[in-house]
Amino acid sequence: MVQSSSFPFELLHADTKTKARRGRLRLPHGNVETPAFMPVGTQGTVKGLTIDQVEKTGAHILLGNTYHLSLRPGSELIAQQGGLHRFMGWDKPILTDSGGFQIFSLGDMNKVTEDGATFRSHLNGAKIHLRPEDSIRIQEELGSDIAMVLDHVIALPASDEAALDASDRSVRWARRCKESAKRSDQAKFAIVQGGLNADLRIQCAEQLIQIGFDGYAVGGLSVGEPPPEMYRILDIVCPVLPTDQPRYLMGVGRPIDLVEGIARGIDMFDCVMPTRNGRNALAFTANGPLRMRNQVHARDEKPIEEDCPCIACDRSRAYIRHLFQADEMLGPMLLSIHNLTFYQRLMQWARQAIEEDRFEAFLLEQRSKLEPTQESD
């Protein structure tokens, strides 16, 4: 088994009653304190927000997307502009997704072969062929701190035959990604596939570990399966992964799922949920969600959350509701800021609970708060 020490992951503390971990990942553009949530900046921006606003939410790593940035403005242009960090004005770490999920999401427009995936651009219908080597080349041109290998994502539930085919191809593509990589200053994370089959997940993880990567992600979840099935797969996969390297659960973003993932040993998360819901008038809080268009908030002088330091909570719930009712763009911006701030606070609370060996109690508390049967008051 070959492991890299170029991007050290320091395990600072392990919770005594759960599998939750407190760590620190050292990357070229800074350290990532884990557990960590990555806001999604698919096209070089977290939708609707400035970089300064994103930074003030407490984020210290962002996610960009290979597929979207390769289409526009193009990875070569971004490289000429000094790389993605300089292009978007963000001087902290960036992780770039490989494009594998976009291949999956364009399922009616793609064809996957051993060489790669052929599909149509969602912009103009142009034919695109993306190979593992292409994905890595694009990510190296973008200059991200972490590049994800190209994987084969399938919908769930899936047959064992389909899951085996996709997971085996993901391993072969991962090897090709590693062999084609040229940059020594960019971490490479592999992605464990295998559907909902425990044996396939373990087999895929073990094969990827034998190849050797800087971190390991659990992919192909939150694509149709119920949450208990996702938790079951995490219970199976996380114990197989190296303890001295980061573990990343891809595309999972309900607050309760983040906490449940941490309890099972996950270190990193990403999702569009906080900003997408913010644009649609839903605010996340420590006591559950608030639907800010509801009439109950029309005269409410309280902030969205009493102890929240974000700029949205400098205003009343009545004002936030008014912005949405008036179709003012400030409403989605403020709720996006609030939701991202809440997610970063949730990670901070989780890190502190792990350090103090009380994560089990924290988990039970979050289960009671984050999945209410109705909107919180």
- Mean of pLDDT values over 218-231: 93
Q: What is the mean pLDDT of the chain?
A: 94
Give the residue from 227, 248, 271 where a domain finishes.
271
Residues 349 and 200 in one domain: no
Residue 136 falls inside a structural domain:
yes
Strand order in the sheet with 9-14: 9-14, 21-27, 30-34
Position 146 scores a pLDDT of 98
Residue 168's domain spans which residues?
9-271
Confidence band of 372 (pLDDT split at 50, 70, 90)? low
Nearest to 19 by CA among 305, 216, 259: 259
Amino acid in position 265: G
Alpha carbons 228 and 319: distance in angstroms, whole number: 38
Alpha carbons 313 and 306: distance in angstroms, whole number: 7
Residues 255 and 145 in one domain: yes
pLDDT tens for 153-176 read 888 889 999 999 999 999 999 999
- Quick check: 49 and 339 in contact, CB under 8 A? no
pLDDT tens for 338-347 read 999 999 999 9
Overall number of domains in the chain: 2
Q: How far is CA 128 from CA 96, 108, 132, 293, in A?
A: 19, 14, 13, 41
Position 101 scores a pLDDT of 77
Position 267 scores a pLDDT of 99
Pull the structure tokens for residue 354. Answer: 């792990």
User: In whole angstroms, what separates CA 161 from the centre of its chain?
Assistant: 28
Residues 115 and 245 in one domain: yes
Position 2 scores a pLDDT of 44
Residue 2 falls inside a structural domain:
no
- Mean of pLDDT values over 218-233: 94
Nearest to 66 by CA among 102, 22, 90: 102
Residues 210 and 308 in one domain: no
pLDDT tens for 22-61 read 999 999 999 999 999 999 999 999 999 999 999 999 999 9
Residues 207 and 323 in one domain: no
Give the residue from 271, 301, 331 where a domain finishes.
271
Query: Helices 330-355 and 317-325: crossing angle, nearest 10°?
Result: 140
Residues 313 and 233 in one domain: no
Alpha carbons 245 and 239: distance in angstroms, whole number: 12
Position 126 scores a pLDDT of 85
Find the largest Cα–Cα distance for the chain.
62
Residue 1 falls inside a structural domain:
no
pLDDT tens for 289-312 read 999 999 999 999 999 999 999 999
Amino acid in position 163: A
Give the residue from 210, 241, 271 where a domain finishes.
271
Residue 128 falls inside a structural domain:
yes
- Mean of pLDDT values over 330-353: 98
- Mean of pLDDT values over 261-265: 98
Residue 109 falls inside a structural domain:
yes
Residues 189 and 310 in one domain: no
Kindly tell me if the per-residue pLDDT of 65 is higher than 50: yes
Catalytic residues: 97, 270
Alpha carbons 190 and 246: distance in angstroms, whole number: 11
What is the CATH classification number for the domain harbouring 66? 3.20.20.105
Position 377 scores a pLDDT of 45
Residues 221 and 299 in one domain: no
Residue 347 falls inside a structural domain:
yes
- Mean of pLDDT values over 230-250: 98
Residues 243 and 287 in one domain: no
Residues 219 and 292 in one domain: no
Residues 294 and 255 in one domain: no
User: In whole angstroms, what separates CA 253 from the centre of its chain?
Assistant: 7
**Secondary structure element (H or E) that encloses residue 291, with its range:** strand 290-291
Position 1 scores a pLDDT of 42
Residue 20 falls inside a structural domain:
yes
Position 328 scores a pLDDT of 98
Residues 207 and 111 in one domain: yes
pLDDT tens for 91-114 read 999 999 998 777 777 656 678 899
> CB 40: neighbour CB atoms within 10 A?
23
Residue 134 falls inside a structural domain:
yes
Kindly tell me if the per-residue pLDDT of 337 is higher than 50: yes
Position 125 scores a pLDDT of 83
